């Protein structure tokens, strides 16, 4: 009987529990044993009770739960080979040779490395006498499939990551709440949303709430962003708007690559010599990440979880590590590392302040 393990890793995102539920149940449906690795890579390294066999009923009700019920952790030990060696041993001792990981690009890159190293890890386990040759013999290949769980929608090659629409919905809801009080007092609000290197949440929240102005990392503001923003806000005020909403991604930058902070924007809106607006800052923080998944993320988690089990069962030693994407409304398998490299290209372009390149890469992603 094939034994498939499921793990969540990196920052949690709404829909991860739906992924685990779908993978566990699909694995059982396909006649396999399903395991959950608790606490991300930490669970693989520690083994023991952190690797648990799951039954159909163990994941009952998980679709509507927020966060990740099997836990996640940043595991330093897995970055080092000795940690990965112990992880490999724990997998073999549990009879597991297929792993489905739901996480961001960092977690998925770690998985690909683990798979590439797998044969040499087994060799080392035998050489060191930790496992006997006949023990490792049936586990020659490690099959790994990735699912992208991230609220930032920051992986190239997929239209949506699991969790991004839940976070977006939460932001829109919060902005609606803020708008009521902003309008009452005729105030301005600078609202900071998540997204370290990716402005998708800020951009889409701006579109979905009709914000006055947004700041994102990929398309930094022009040198005259202060004048631009103030002139737009002034125009809106002159048209009779009683509220001003500016959305800023946490990774927002100016053309020189300098950080644009909520305080900078607030001070400008409040400047007595300029607009002189009574201005407040709201940092939405982790409310964007917590809570239950919206319908779209539950659907994505379920359909992609099912596909991940199929992919892991069909993988051969020649198959490249794949991840499950959604492209033009179709659930598809794609080579993992190509997507990771494309994603890193955007981050690197932002770092070296080549913003035209960053925007061109983002455009290409969404028009693929």
Residue 153 and residue 301: Cα distance in Å, rounded?
14
Query: Which residues participate in the annotated binding site?
Result: 11, 74-75, 104-107, 150-152, 187, 194-196, 250, 280, 286-289
Does residue 289 touch ligand F6P according to CB under 6 A? Answer: yes
- Say which DSSP state 256 is in: T
Does residue 192 touch ligand F6P according to CB under 6 A? Answer: no
Given 196, 242, 259, 352, the residue binding ligand F6P (CB under 6 A): 196
- Residue closest to 73 by CA, chosen among 102, 44, 112, 42: 42
The contact mask relative to ligand F6P for 129-168 (x = CB under 6 A, - = no) is ---------------------xxx----------------
Query: Which residues participate in the annotated binding site for ATP?
Result: 11, 74-75, 104-107
Given 194, 301, 325, 346, the residue binding ligand F6P (CB under 6 A): 194
Residues with a catalytic annotation lie at 152
Looking up tokens 């794949």, which residue turns up? 322
Residue 269 and residue 213: Cα distance in Å, rounded?
12
Does residue 20 touch ligand F6P according to CB under 6 A? Answer: no
- State the Cα torsion 73-76-78-82 to the nearest 10°: -150
Question: Burial level of 126, CB count in 10 A (0-12/13-18/19+)?
Answer: middle
Does residue 11 touch ligand F6P according to CB under 6 A? Answer: yes
Give DSSP secondary structure letters for 238-281.
HTT---EEEEEETT-BBTTSPBPPHHHHHHHHH-TTTT---EEE
CB-wise, 88 or 194, nearer to ligand F6P?
194
Does residue 70 touch ligand F6P according to CB under 6 A? Answer: no
Instruction: Work out how close the CB of 198 gets to ligand F6P at its nearest, in angstroms, rounded to a whole number.
Output: 8
Does residue 218 touch ligand F6P according to CB under 6 A? Answer: no
Residue 106 and residue 323: Cα distance in Å, rounded?
13
Residue 271 and residue 217: Cα distance in Å, rounded?
25
Size, binding site for ligand F6P by CB under 6 A: 10
Q: Which residues bind ligand F6P (CB under 6 A)?
A: 11, 104, 150-152, 194-196, 250, 289
């Amino acid at each position: 009987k094939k034994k498939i393990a499921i793990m969540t890793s990196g920052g949690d995102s709404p829909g991860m529990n739906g992924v685990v539920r779908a993978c566990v149940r699909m694995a059982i449906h396909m006649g396999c044993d399903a395991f959950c690795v608790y606490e991300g890579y930490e669970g693989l390294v520690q083994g023991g009770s952190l690797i648990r066999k799951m039954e159909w009923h163990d994941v009952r009700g998980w679709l509507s739960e927020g966060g990740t019920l099997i836990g996640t952790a940043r595991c330093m030990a897995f970055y080092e080979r000795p940690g990965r060696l112990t992880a490999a041993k724990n997998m073999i001792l549990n009879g597991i040779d297929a792993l489905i990981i739901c996480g961001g690009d960092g977690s998925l890159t770690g998985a690909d490395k683990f798979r590439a190293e797998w044969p040499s890890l087994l060799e080392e386990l035998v050489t060191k006498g930790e496992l006997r040759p006949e023990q490792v013999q049936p586990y020659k290949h490690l099959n790994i499939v990735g699912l992208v769980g991230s609220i930032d929608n920051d992986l190239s090659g997929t239209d949506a990551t699991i969790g991004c629409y839940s976070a977006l919905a939460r932001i829109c809801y919060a902005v609606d709440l803020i708008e009521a009080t902003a309008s009452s007092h005729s105030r301005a609000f600078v609202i900071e949303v998540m997204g370290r290197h990716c402005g998708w949440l800020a951009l889409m929240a701006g579109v979905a709430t009709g914000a006055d102005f947004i700041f994102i990392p990929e398309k930094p503001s022009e040198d005259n962003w202060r004048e631009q923003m103030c002139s737009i806000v002034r125009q809106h005020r002159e048209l009779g708007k009683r509220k001003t909403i500016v959305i800023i991604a946490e990774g927002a930058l100016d053309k020189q690559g300098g950080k644009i902070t909520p305080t900078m924007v607030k001070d400008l809106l409040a400047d007595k010599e300029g607009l002189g607006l009574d201005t407040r800052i709201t940092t939405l923080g982790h409310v964007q990440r917590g809570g239950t998944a919206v319908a779209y993320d539950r659907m994505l988690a379920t359909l992609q979880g099912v596909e991940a089990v199929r992919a892991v069962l069909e993988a051969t030693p020649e198959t490249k590590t794949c991840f499950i994407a959604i492209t033009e409304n179709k659930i598809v398998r794609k080579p993992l590392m190509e997507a990771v490299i494309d994603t890193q290209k955007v981050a690197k372009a932002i770092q070296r302040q080549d913003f035209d390149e960053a925007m061109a890469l983002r455009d290409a992603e969404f028009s693929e």
